Structure 1
Amino acid sequence: MVGVINNFGGFYHTEFYVHELRMNGADIQAPHLNESEYLTRITGKTVFLGFIHMKYLEKATVEKLLSERRVNGPFLGLADFVARVEIGLEQLLILIRMTCFRFTGKTKQELLWEAHFLKNKRKAVVSTNELFRSATTEISFGRKPPEVPDLDETDIRQDILDQIDILEFPLDSPFHLVKDQSVRGIKAREMTQYLGKQVMILGYLVTVKYTRTVKGDVMNFGTFLDRDGDWIDTVHFPPVVKKYPFKGRAIYRIEGKVVEEFGFYSIEVDKLERMAYWNAAD
């Protein structure tokens, strides 16, 4: 599966091969400054996503990062990294937003603030005897460390939006982004209990297959994931396709009847609604 991810192969988007790894017991880790390589790698049950998946991160930045790490060892923190790797503020912020510095124990907000301090206010001071620096103590900012102001706690929804922006898919559950969290519905694994009945379920769109009836009308077959990561299959007949078309990758409220054929359960959709997402401006 990691090979498929690295080769960007397969029918589905990279996101869903990562999902299958997680569902099979893998611990999926976002790119990590000291653990990740250019390509995704697996060690035991832990999968470290590669820097290649960060669409705004320049290859030259990754090459400098990896080269410095191989020659002089792991990075001790943000100031140490800035002192050792020539990097612009924009590229540095991408690494921070993707939580690549999470080993420091500092929040994303603290690191973003410190990054601006380091790049715009002062330059980290590297002593002439840096070769003898402690393996556990980060170099100084010069004079004294900055006093970080009180900052709001990290919101997982903002983390997910950063993941979608940089990786083009979420690592945490996208269902956190649904604005109205009171809308729940049944779970995919409960569909067998509702055979022949009307149900409502929330589904994260995976793919849509378009086909035509013998009369030439368009109908759809949808594939979704529910909150637990289980698969949902849907059938959208022409009248429903016309009235409730798909509106891009998102979470949808699906209403319809549970049907079964040869032991395979799906939903014949009567209504499809794209759910509104949270945003920081709300």
Structure 2
Amino acid sequence: MIISFSGYSFCKPHSASYARVSFQAAYLKTHYPAPFMAAVISNQGGFYATFAYVSEARRMGVKILGPDVGRSRIHWTARGNTIRVGLMAVKGLTADTMARIIQAQAKRPFASLTDFFARIRPREDDARALIHCGSLDRLGGGSSRATLLWAFSAWQQAKAKKPAEPGLFDQDDAALKFPDLPPDHPVTRQRQEYAVLGFLTGTHPITLFRAAINRLGTVPAEDIPAYTGRDICFAGWLITGKTVITKHGDPMKFLTFEDDTGIVETVFFPKPYAKLCHMLDYGRPYLLRGRVESDWGAVTLTVTDASLIRRN
């Protein structure tokens, strides 16, 4: 018994150091929620992806501000009860482009969209990522993101006909004469933002499926502990998980789901997991059916069935 205990026991100093870190983190999270969460996300560590930390910050009452080429730093930053998304969150944005943006910010603000293009000279992939995540919306003056893509293309064509150094008579935004393109569809904007950032700054993506979820009779995450010992349905977004092998050699999985009210830890035992594993994919909404269980205060949902939720 002593030999087996040594496999997972901790010496007192080790336990004490973990307790100290836990108390410090709890204090900072309680009294300085925005700076704490900004630091946690910037650190890029922990069990969860950025998506989960953004959701947690939002549940704590912290407002998430989208990336902005004139206001974002490389890391996430906090001010008051708000967090500004850092440029590091923009998928595919090169370190060189991020560095040029920060250096340009230090010299003077970007006067316009064309001024940004001329001073930063982003690659096409960088420009598309910055536009799709909304970081150029303010410089675009309310234009649709399709219009901003057109503006970048027009700037590229103009650049090809000019010397490398900006000249006295370079076109400004007014001279570009933006076309009268229709406004972006809200769902298109959200899909583009999610593809680039991995989360939505304004809302939890589960809310986009609210109409379908409301017809399913689900229990929100924050209310699940009250249903201990009962079978329920829960609609959640799959955010992370861990596969383990039982002593009989069968795979099972611990998966974490969340909605806009909280996180739910679930257990997929071998039989349900074998039946459902082919359809489980991170970053998608699922309807889960199972029993709520509590073990020493830790509440979990033992899943017996699951299905993908689709928008109508």
Alignment TM-score, normalising by the size of structure 2: 0.73
Distance in 1 of aligned mates of 2:56 and 2:178? 43
1:6-25 deviations in Å (ceiling 9; x for gaps): 23222222222233222222
Asked if 1:173 is matched to 2:204, the reply is yes
Amino acid at match of 1:75: F
Distance in 2 of aligned mates of 1:147 and 1:67? 28
Are the counterparts in 2 of residues 107 and 154 from structure 1 also a CA contact under 8 Å? Answer: no
- SS across alignment from 2:212: coil
Q: Match for residue 7 of structure 1?
A: 43
Distance in 2 of aligned mates of 1:42 and 1:255? 39
Q: Which runs of 5+ in 2 are unaligned?
A: 1-36
C-alpha deviation, 1:100, in angstroms: 0.7
Asked if 1:36 is matched to 2:72, the reply is yes
Are the counterparts in 2 of residues 109 and 154 from structure 1 also a CA contact under 8 Å? Answer: no
- SS across alignment from 2:213: coil
Are the counterparts in 2 of residues 118 and 141 from structure 1 also a CA contact under 8 Å? Answer: no
Which of structure 1's runs of 4+ aligned residues deviate more than 4 A? 121-124
C-alpha distance 94-15 of structure 1, shift in aligned 2 (>3 A): same
Distance in 2 of aligned mates of 1:183 and 1:15? 21
1:30-65 deviations in Å (ceiling 9; x for gaps): 221111112222222222222122231122222222
Q: Which runs of 5+ in 1 are unaligned?
A: 131-138
C-alpha distance 90-217 of structure 1, shift in aligned 2 (>3 A): closer
Asked if 1:269 is matched to 2:300, the reply is no
RMSD between superposed Cα atoms in Å: 3.0
C-alpha deviation, 1:145, in angstroms: 4.2
Asked if 1:98 is matched to 2:133, the reply is yes
C-alpha distance 90-266 of structure 1, shift in aligned 2 (>3 A): closer
Q: Match for residue 256 of structure 2?
A: 223
C-alpha deviation, 1:233, in angstroms: 1.9
C-alpha deviation, 1:210, in angstroms: 2.6
Q: Match for residue 32 of structure 2?
A: none
1:144-201 deviations in Å (ceiling 9; x for gaps): 441422414331x3233223322234434222554x9423322112324434333211
Asked if 1:140 is matched to 2:172, the reply is yes
1:151 to 169, 182, 191: 182
Distance in 1 of aligned mates of 2:130 and 2:310? 28
Distance in 2 of aligned mates of 1:215 and 1:149? 65
Q: Match for residue 14 of structure 2?
A: none
The correspondence of residues 24-63 of structure 1 with structure 2, limited to 5 A, is 24-63=60-99
1:242 to 274, 277, 286: 274
Q: Greater CA deviation, 3-12 or 114-123? A: 114-123
- SS across alignment from 2:182: coil
Distance in 2 of aligned mates of 1:5 and 1:100? 19
Distance in 2 of aligned mates of 1:65 and 1:208? 36
Distance in 2 of aligned mates of 1:87 and 1:107? 20
**Greater fraction helix:** 2
Distance in 2 of aligned mates of 1:165 and 1:203? 19
Distance in 2 of aligned mates of 1:89 and 1:215? 52
Q: Greater CA deviation, 231-240 or 17-26? A: 17-26
Are the counterparts in 1 of residues 290 and 301 from structure 2 also a CA contact under 8 Å? Answer: yes
Distance in 1 of aligned mates of 2:53 and 2:222? 21
